[in-house]
């Protein structure tokens, strides 16, 4: 591996940095976008059950808020009713929508960075290719004769061009695949949160005094 990096020249170092960053972002998103951390399947039913007759205590609401992203949105509705038992439906929706926006922003964190890496890696590979081509042309004699060329510099220029092109694609393709995967997963979570919030608002309307 070290010999490949040496053959690819200095232009490969930005690509290596991008690959390390992309790997870190993918691991972080896999951890953060677990279903248990975003929208546990039975959490809504449990929240409806504990508030069948009245708004739960602040301690229960705090536990719900710390449970997951969905719990944070549901807890915002409980907090609104605890603060103002006669809170209107419009205000309830506005408060929960604001909580949902904050959650959505957190779910989409680092996706733009991953998309940027997927877009920039081929360009960095192209930059390495151009630099390699410059070295190839620089290895030729001023008169253009083959005997006057520098074979070592010619071989190095070819290595720089080919290795950087290949490595740029090797970084960009997985980054793009994971970005599309996480984008779809976030959209699915946001739909789940929206449907759960709509059902929860209707339930909270029955608790208003």
Please list the pLDDT of the chain residue by residue as tens digits (209 residues): 666 666 666 778 889 999 999 999 999 999 999 999 999 999 999 999 998 888 888 899 999 999 999 999 999 999 998 888 888 889 999 999 999 999 999 999 999 999 999 999 999 988 888 888 887 776 665 554 444 556 676 776 777 778 888 889 999 999 999 999 999 999 999 999 999 999 999 988 887 65
- As to burial, measured by CB atoms within 10 angstroms (0-12 exposed, 13-18 middle, 19+ buried), residue 154 is middle
Q: Is residue 76 a contact partner of residue 94, using CB atoms and an 8 Å limit? A: no
The reported pLDDT for the residue numbered 108 is: 95
How far is CA 83 from its chain centroid?
35
- Rounded to 10 degrees, what is the CA torsion of 107, 112, 118, 124? -150
The reported pLDDT for the residue numbered 175 is: 96
The reported pLDDT for the residue numbered 55 is: 86
- As to burial, measured by CB atoms within 10 angstroms (0-12 exposed, 13-18 middle, 19+ buried), residue 172 is buried
Give the integer Cα–Cα distance in Å for 161 and 182: 32
The reported pLDDT for the residue numbered 45 is: 93
* Domain boundaries of the chain, sorted by first residue: 2-205
Helix segments in 33-150, DSSP class H = 35-38, 43-50, 58-67, 69-83, 89-107, 111-138
The reported pLDDT for the residue numbered 205 is: 86
Tokens of 138: 């620089």
């Amino acid at each position: 591996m070290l010999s490949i990096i040496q053959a690819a020249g200095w232009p490969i170092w930005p690509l290596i940095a991008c690959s390390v960053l992309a790997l870190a972002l993918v691991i972080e998103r896999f951890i953060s976008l677990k279903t248990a951390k975003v929208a546990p399947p039975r959490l809504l039913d449990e929240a409806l059950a504990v508030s069948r007759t009245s708004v739960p205590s602040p301690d229960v609401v705090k536990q719900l808020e710390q449970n997951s992203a969905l719990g944070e949105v549901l807890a915002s509705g409980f907090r609104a009713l605890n603060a103002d038992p006669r809170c209107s439906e419009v205000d309830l929706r506005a408060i929960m929508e604001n909580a949902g926006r904050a959650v959505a922003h957190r779910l989409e964190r680092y996706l733009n960075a991953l998309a940027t890496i997927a877009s920039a890696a081929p360009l960095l590979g192209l930059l390495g290719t151009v630099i390699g081509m410059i070295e190839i042309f620089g290895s030729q004699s001023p008169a253009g004769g083959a005997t006057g060329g520098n074979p070592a510099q010619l071989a190095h220029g070819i290595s720089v061009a080919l290795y950087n092109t290949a490595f740029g694609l090797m970084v960009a393709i997985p980054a793009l695949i994971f970005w599309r995967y996480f984008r779809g997963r976030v959209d699915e979570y946001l739909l789940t949160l929206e449907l759960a919030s709509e059902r929860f608002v209707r339930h909270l309307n029955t608790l208003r005094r």
